[in-house]
Structure 1
Amino acid sequence: MIGIDYSNMMEEVIGINGISDLSIKNISSQIENAYNMIANREWKQLEFIDLPSQDTAEIKKIARYIRKSADNFLLLGIGGSALGPRAIIEALSPFHNLKKKPRVFIYDNVDPRTLKSIFTVIDLKKTFINVISKSGSTAETAASFLILWDKMKRALGKEAFRRFIITTDPEKGNLRKIANDEKILSLPVPPNVGGRYSVLSPVGLLTTEVIGINCNELLEGASSIKSICLKNDVYKNPALLFAVLLFLMDKEKNRHINVMVPYMDSLKFLSEWFCQLWAESLGKGNKGLTPYPSLGTTDQHSQLQLWMEGPQDKVVFFIKVNNFGTDIKIPAVFRNIEGYNYLPGHTLKELINSEQEATELALTKAGRPNFTINVPEINAYYLGQLFFFFEMATAFAGALLGVNPFDQPGVEEGKNLTYGMMGKKGFEDKKKEVYEYRKRKGKWKI
């Protein structure tokens, strides 16, 4: 089971920059209220809590067909629809495309160079395409889908529909209509599960199966921590504790930047996934906590200086993996070089763990708050635990901050302006706004 060591957040360890048990006690009523909001399902979008018990038979059936029939699997989606699957691939099979088929490609950002590059390395006739959009109206995914549908129709004619899988709302939206009309295979995103909370739905599970990982192991991991993340005791509920620690650091110490530092390459994209979850869920009404992705030991050589001596506005939390599943011994060569002769006899695991502990201690000595999430190992089971843990922590944090962690009102204006610029019916006023903006924009420039 994953666990949290938060010793280096406490006042008696790091001094005035820390919090105390009294700090936690003083907000006990807020903690209780936040807990009740989640436990009592005050928001209908808390349906993600039920995902660990879903039936995966249809997902597995479709994935078997893809593995048997395809050389390539191209995923079209953005936000949680891409970040979740990418985090799974990088954590569980980071060099998948060099080892086995189908190769997996994720096209999220609508950069034409990227899509053109994908076209140079895949044969569409041997490719399956998973189109993911909960709403079915996401502009980036819609544009990508239109391009791929046209190309696939040109390549395969009337059989093109057989190469698509649409993952969307089970009842409504443009993609649902197209799936029904064109007889395209489809998988549902549960109506009350938002995109950034959907990694443990078909959004992430189909890709998991396509790369040859049993998606039930992800769900089993999530299920194993579910009851713990629903305990009404901040000292026994790691998700609630995580939210409380970062809430208190913001409230009492004005530390609103949360730096996530996994000490394992394969968890780099878990940080990217977490950043969307944390930022889009909590940044509302001039409130919020700012996530910052990092990677140990890499960013000790780029960001650590800032954490140590920069503004007192950060909390660093490490993800430490106890079992890497392998290790490599450092050989006894060039022992005559004084700067190298301390390394032989040790292993890479020893070195990376030493670097993590050294960074932790250095921050602690400098009075900089930090804590560690300990993970036994990285496999589908523990990755499922991490996904569910962070989703629950985000829901608790939203309740503590007094914001709705399931909407994104600040994103809508940008979408509407884009619709106006692209000529979508009903957004003519937004197009006018853009024209007026462009007139003003060039006044100050060099």
Structure 2
Amino acid sequence: MLRFDATYAERFIPADELEAYLDERAEVLMRCQAGEERYADSLGWLSVDAWAGEETVERTCALAERIRAQADTFVLIGVGGSNNTTRATVAALAPEGGARIVYAGNTLSAWELRRMLEDLDGHDVVIDCVAKNFETLEPGSSFRLLRQYLVERYGREEAARRIVCTGTIGSPLEDLCRAEGYTFVPFATDVGGRFTALTEVHLLPLAVAGVDIRALVAGARETEHSCRTAGPTQNDAFRYAAVRKLLWDRGYQVELLGFFEPRFRWFSKWFEQLFAESEGKDGRGIFPVAAEYCEELHSLGQYVQDGTRQLFETFLDVREPGPGDSLVLGGTDVEDGFGYLDGKDFWDINKASFEATRAAHAEVLPCLTVEIDQLDDHHLGTLLYWFAFACMASGELLGVNPFDQPGVEAYKMLMFRALGKGVG
């Protein structure tokens, strides 16, 4: 179960004002729940079963099992929305029994690419190139590099059996797969990259890694029901979007996602891309950043507490410990001044740090909390869908198209020109 709490922001946005605003903008929620026709080519994710139904999950699990029989290392070639969900979920869940996931296609650094190739030596490798239009330089160049690596190592025929491509049906990437005998997985036709969390783009590498994708999808499906049926005052995702808009109106232009569980480190990168690419346009948009506590309490924490009042904070928290989340601190053999910790569980110590930080920060800036019961496959699915729906609603309230990304194209045109590629 997911809970959204705006109590620690009520000094800045009174509860009655929020309730009135939710009722006033009820038609925005209704449009989001139904799916607007003008966004029809980007809303495939809104219905979880459209791209993550039982047939798709079965097919994905079967392919993942075949890949795990071939390899202990699976290289996911993609950038942004093509790898962020997988990295966020694998890092958060640390699944066992699956293949190791290596990430490529998200850098042009020769040093990093060389290090990655060296790291593959001694492992059985399968690669997956994720490219909706097969024009983006970063994954395209890494795919060429890794394809040549596999051919040199295994020979052309065996290399072909170790290459998977996820792309658009009818694209040059599918043509390449047919010509060379690579396994081809269709990219969801009506889902943009950063909204592909519950599609084969990520379900396949997650299944290969050992994530229970059925539980992940079930969590998302459960959240879809609540997001698409609850009214404006009971709909937590819409409440979150509304609070963001009211804070934007008050001049808060930066949102800091704070968390005390390091397993959310890569989830925060997914969050940053989702909101930055969806909202940052037309000279508008809340700038999303993240802080990993306790580490950054001793750096960014100073700014949050005493710096300029341009940001609000959203805390991501887990309510109950799961397996491996308990570690009791015993007594000491020396007088070290920390005797007050004898017999305390680090889970509880970390919780105390979180609660104290939220209380201190809430004295000077608006603080929100998004809380899940446990950090497991089901609840990760809940988070992924909930934030996606909230992001769509937030963009609608802000008055921007949450599904395009015109600014991303600006650097590409200049880069292609510098590298000698013809551009129209």
- TM-score, length-scaled by structure 1: 0.89
Which residue of structure 2 lines up, in the alignment, with residue 163 of structure 1? 162
* 1:65 match: secondary structure: helix
Deviation for aligned residue 1:101: 5.9
1:66 paired with 2:64, answer no
Residue in 1 aligned with 2:174? 176
Please give the alpha-carbon distance, in whole angstroms, between the structure 1 residues aligned to 2:368 and 2:333.
37
Deviation at 1:102, TM superposition (A): 2.8
The equivalent of 2:143 in structure 1 is 145
Shift of 1:8: 1.0
Paired position in structure 1 for 2:328: 329
Runs of 5+ unmatched residues, structure 1: 428-446
1:21 aligns with 2:52: no
CA 27–59 in structure 1, closer or farther in 2 if over 3 Å, else same? closer
Give the number of equivalent residue pairs: 413
Residue 61 to residue 319, structure 1, CA distance change in 2 (3 Å) = same
CA contact (8 A) 2:90 2:211 kept: no
- Matched residue type, 2:374: E
- Distance of aligned partners of 1:121 and 1:26 in 2 relative to their CA distance in 1, 3 Å threshold: closer
Instruction: Kindly provide the CA deviation profile for residues 268-321 of structure 1, in whole angstroms up to 9, marking residues without a partner as x.
Output: 111110000000000110110110111122221221111111111111111111
Secondary structure of the corresponding residue to residue 261 of structure 1: strand
Q: Distance in 1 between matches of 2:259 and 2:90?
A: 16
Q: 1:67 to 1:22 in 2, by over 3 A?
A: same
Q: Which residue matches 1:78?
A: 79
Higher mean displacement: 121-130 or 396-405: 121-130
CA contact 1:228–1:236 (8 Å) conserved in 2: no
Checking the alignment, whether the CA contact within 8 Å between 1:88 and 1:204 is kept in structure 2 is no
1:361 to 347, 359, 362: 359
Q: Using the alignment, how far apart are the partners of 2:114 and 2:361 within structure 1?
A: 45
Task: For residue 125 of structure 1, report the CA deviation from its aligned partner.
Answer: 7.7
Determine the C-alpha separation between the residues in 1 that align with 2:422 and 2:406: 21
Corresponding position of 1:342: 340
2:340 aligned counterpart, secondary structure: coil
Residue pair 1:262, 1:318 contacting (<8 A) in 2 also: yes
Distance in 1 (alpha carbons) for counterparts of 2:6 and 2:218? 26
Q: SS where residue 132 of structure 2 aligns?
A: coil
Give the deviation of 1:65 after TM superposition.
0.9
Superposed CA offset, 1:72-104 (max 9, x none): 11111100111111001101117x6xxx66322
Task: Give secondary structure in 1 for the equivalent of 2:373.
Answer: strand
RMSD: 1.7
Report 1:285-434 matches (<5 A).
285-325=282-322, 326-334=325-333, 336-337=335-336, 339-364=337-362, 366-427=363-424
Q: What is the Cα deviation at residue 238 of structure 1?
A: 1.3
Is this contact kept in 2: 1:137–1:174, CA < 8 A? no
Show the counterpart of 1:443.
none
**Which among 213, 216, 220 is matched to residue 214 of structure 2?**
216
Partner of 2:262: 265
Q: Partner amino acid for 1:69?
A: Q
Deviations 1:28-62 (A, max 9, x none): 43x22321331232111111112344221221111
Residues 322-331 or 121-130, more deviating:
121-130
1:50/1:180 CA distance change after superposition, 3 Å: farther
Q: Taking structure 1 as reference, are residues 124 and 206 closer, same or farther at Cα in structure 2, changes over 3 Å only?
A: farther
Structure 2: how far apart are the matches of 1:310 and 1:334?
Answer: 41
Give 1:113 shift: 1.1
Query: Could you tell me how far apart the structure 2 residues matched to 1:48 and 1:101 are?
Result: 26
Q: 1:262 deviation in Å?
A: 2.0
Take 1:267 and 1:273, find their aligned partners in 2: how far apart are those partners? Answer: 10
CA distance in 2, matches of 1:297, 1:227: 35
Q: 1:172-231 CA distances to partner (integer Å, 9 max, x unpaired)?
A: 332122122222112122111010001111121112111222211110000011111113
Q: Does structure 2 conserve the Cα–Cα contact (< 8 Å) formed by 1:90 and 1:267?
A: yes
Q: In 1, Cα distance between the equivalents of 2:174 and 2:61?
A: 21
Q: Is the 8 A contact 1:19 1:249 kept in 2?
A: no
1:233 counterpart residue number: 231
Identity %: 26
Conserved? CA contact 2:98–2:210, under 8 Å: no
Code of the residue aligned with 2:397 in structure 1: it is: L
* Structure 1 runs, 4 residues or longer, greater than 4 Å off: none
Query: Partners of 1:58 and 1:124 in 2: how far apart?
Result: 29
In the aligned structure 2, how far is the partner of 1:180 from the partner of 1:293?
42
1:46 counterpart residue number: 43
Alpha-carbon distance in structure 2 between the residues aligned to 1:24 and 1:248: 12
Q: Partner of 2:403: helix, strand, or coil? A: coil
Deviation at residue 136 of structure 1 after TM alignment = 1.7
